[in-house]
């Protein structure tokens, strides 16, 4: 059995039937991670600790214990605190921070018997769309190593795409799960805001941040979300709803499914290849019994400016805690306390983080708060209402995840606004707190993956996963792997 190309469901079954051990499985992935370290997917790897966890999982399996992910190796985005693990958030500011406790997400996976493979690379403090802002260097897209993997969860996305991990956690503030999932040709899910606890997830923008999961397929995602989702009293925004088995409706027929196509997602700015692949995917859905409904999201063009007022405003507040006093980077030379804080922040933060802190401080300042921040909040409500109105006409929304496929390193580095626009189709979902996912639906003319975004009403993850799974039963795009994995031709 080629373990690194086996589905999560099959791996879990193999562990339960003792076809192989968690130690053997974990060692297989650790060896692959070392062989493909040039991709830059991981910031921290501790093979000895991972194998000890695998050995403990094998002991639990031998005692007859069983959970969906018992003994399964999982990569975790370096935004989640993990006790005893270096947790950097991709920043120099936290380059020496070893977490003293587990995030709720890490705790849930540990209780389920999963194995921590390592902490994945990411844009610094989750601020970026290309994974070029990490203090530890960029992550490379395994489909074409001169291209970006997307961000900020680029390390998790590239690791799954290159089959360095069967499952990876991630976070999404404005598209940071769905966008890299699309650019790397995998499946990624951003749950409803509050579905997954933010306790122990290093904050960027608290009203937008949401933990999620990446894997090759929707069926794999369902297993991972079943473990990580759940109410947490330590998170004031955690949704108190009954825990679900997200695998329960994967086989649900799509007959009569109403697919809403927002007019605003199919205009200028989207590449011809992306538009063509999306159309082909919609035709597959129609063959499965779904039908199209054209809908309007009239304020969607305002989602980017609204986001880049609200998110930096929240970031400027959240990141004020990094002052060099209690933990994190501290400048080596300074005169007094004020200079120590100023120098530590100047040295510890990268350019993009500084840009967003300054922007956020500006929009919150006297004289600009009403003009920018409050106005952005009003428009955010209009965007939320647009989605609610659309779901009165359809069951799910579909469209491109990104306007283009993966772009070259440095292609958008000189123009922050152009970089920000790469998230134009994903940001509205975060502003409305909705669940959204991206699934692979083919390739462009040079062999780079294209992603289809599927958006649902609040708490509709089970339905979304079923809609994605039925498509993946009818196609094999989610099974395609880069040449560096299969040892053959791309795609």
Across-strand partners of 216?
none
Considering 50, 134, 152, 344, which one is annotated as catalytic? 152
Largest CA distance in the chain: 70
> Which residue out of 77, 119, 190, 412 is catalytically annotated?
77
Q: Which residues, including other chains, have CB under 8 Å from residue 67's CB and lie 6 or more apart?
A: 112, 113, 227
Strand 436-443 to 449-455 pairing: antiparallel
For helices 22-35 and 8-16, the axis angle rounded to 10 degrees is 140
Strands of the sheet containing 168-172, edge to edge, are 42-44, 115-120, 73-77, 168-172, 210-215, 187-190, 436-443, 449-455, 396-400, 258-262, 291-295
- Closest to 89 measured CA to CA, from 101, 78, 97, 81: 78
| CA distances for 366 relative to 132, 307, 335, 369, 372, angstroms | 33, 20, 30, 6, 11
Active site residue 77: yes
Residue 284's H or E segment, with its range, is helix 272-287
Q: Are strands 210-215 and 168-172 parallel, antiparallel or unpaired?
A: antiparallel
CA 327 from centroid of its chain's CA atoms: 27
Distance CA 91, CA 458 (A): 33
Report helix angle 351-364 to 303-318, nearest 10: 100
Altogether, the residues listed in the chain come to a count of 491
Q: Residue 151 and residue 141: Cα distance in Å, rounded?
A: 11
Q: How many CB atoms lie within 10 A of CB 261?
A: 18
Active site residue 95: no
Residue 423 in tokens? 């998230």
Q: Which of 21, 171, 176, 344 is catalytic?
A: 176
| 87 phi, psi to nearest 5 deg | -130, 100
> CA 461 to CA 242: how far, in whole Å?
13
Query: Do residues 274 and 265 lie in contact, with contact meaning Cβ atoms separated by under 8 Å?
Result: no
Closest C-alpha to 274, from 397, 398, 175: 398
Active site residue 38: no
Residues with active-site annotation: 77, 152, 176
């Amino acid at each position: 059995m080629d373990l690194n190309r086996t589905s999560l469901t099959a791996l879990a079954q193999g562990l339960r039937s003792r076809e192989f051990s968690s130690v053997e499985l974990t060692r297989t992935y650790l060896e692959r991670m070392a062989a493909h370290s040039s991709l830059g997917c991981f910031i921290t790897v501790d093979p000895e600790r991972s194998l000890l966890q695998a050995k403990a999982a094998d002991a639990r399996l031998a005692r007859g214990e069983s959970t969906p992910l018992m003994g399964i190796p999982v990569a975790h985005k370096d935004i989640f605190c993990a006790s005893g693990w270096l947790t950097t958030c991709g920043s120099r500011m936290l380059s020496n921070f070893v977490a003293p406790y587990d995030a709720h997400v890490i705790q849930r996976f540990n209780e389920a018997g999963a194995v921590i493979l390592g902490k994945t690379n990411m844009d610094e403090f989750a601020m970026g769309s290309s994974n070029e802002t990490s203090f530890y260097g960029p992550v490379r897209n395994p489909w074409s190593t001169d291209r970006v993997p997307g961000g900020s969860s680029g390390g998790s996305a590239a690791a799954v795409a290159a089959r360095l991990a069967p499952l990876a956690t991630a976070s999404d503030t404005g598209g940071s799960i769905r966008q890299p999932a699309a650019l790397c040709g995998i499946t990624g899910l951003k749950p409803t805001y509050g579905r997954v606890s933010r306790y122990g997830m290093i904050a960027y923008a608290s009203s937008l941040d949401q933990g999620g999961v990446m894997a090759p397929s929707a069926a794999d995602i369902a297993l991972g979300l079943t473990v990580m989702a759940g109410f947490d009293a330590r998170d004031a925004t955690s949704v108190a709803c009954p825990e679900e088995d997200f695998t329960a409706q994967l086989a649900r027929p799509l007959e009569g499914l109403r697919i809403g196509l927002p007019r605003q997602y199919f205009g200028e700015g989207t590449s011809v290849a992306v538009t063509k692949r999306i159309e082909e995917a919609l035709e597959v859905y129609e063959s499965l019994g779904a039908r199209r409904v054209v809908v309007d999201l009239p304020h969607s063009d305002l989602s980017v400016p609204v986001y880049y007022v609200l998110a930096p405003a929240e970031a400027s507040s959240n990141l004020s805690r990094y002052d060099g006093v209690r933990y994190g980077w501290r400048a080596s030379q300074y005169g007094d306390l004020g200079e120590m804080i100023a120098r530590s922040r100047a040295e510890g933060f990268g350019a993009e983080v500084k840009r967003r802190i300054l922007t956020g401080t500006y929009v919150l300042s006297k004289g600009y708060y009403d003009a920018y921040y409050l106005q952005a909040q009003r428009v955010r409500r209009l965007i939320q209402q647009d989605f609610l109105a659309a779901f009165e006409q359809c069951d799910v929304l579909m469209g491109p995840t990104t306007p283009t496929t993966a772009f070259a390193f440095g292609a958008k580095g000189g123009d922050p606004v152009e970089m920000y626009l790469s998230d134009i189709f994903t940001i509205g979902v975060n502003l409305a707190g909705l669940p959204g996912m991206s699934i692979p639906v083919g390739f462009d003319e040079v062999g780079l993956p294209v992603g289809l975004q599927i958006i649902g009403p609040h708490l509709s993850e089970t339905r979304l996963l079923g809609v994605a799974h039925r498509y993946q039963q009818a196609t094999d795009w989610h099974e395609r792997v880069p040449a560096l994995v299969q040892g053959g031709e791309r795609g």
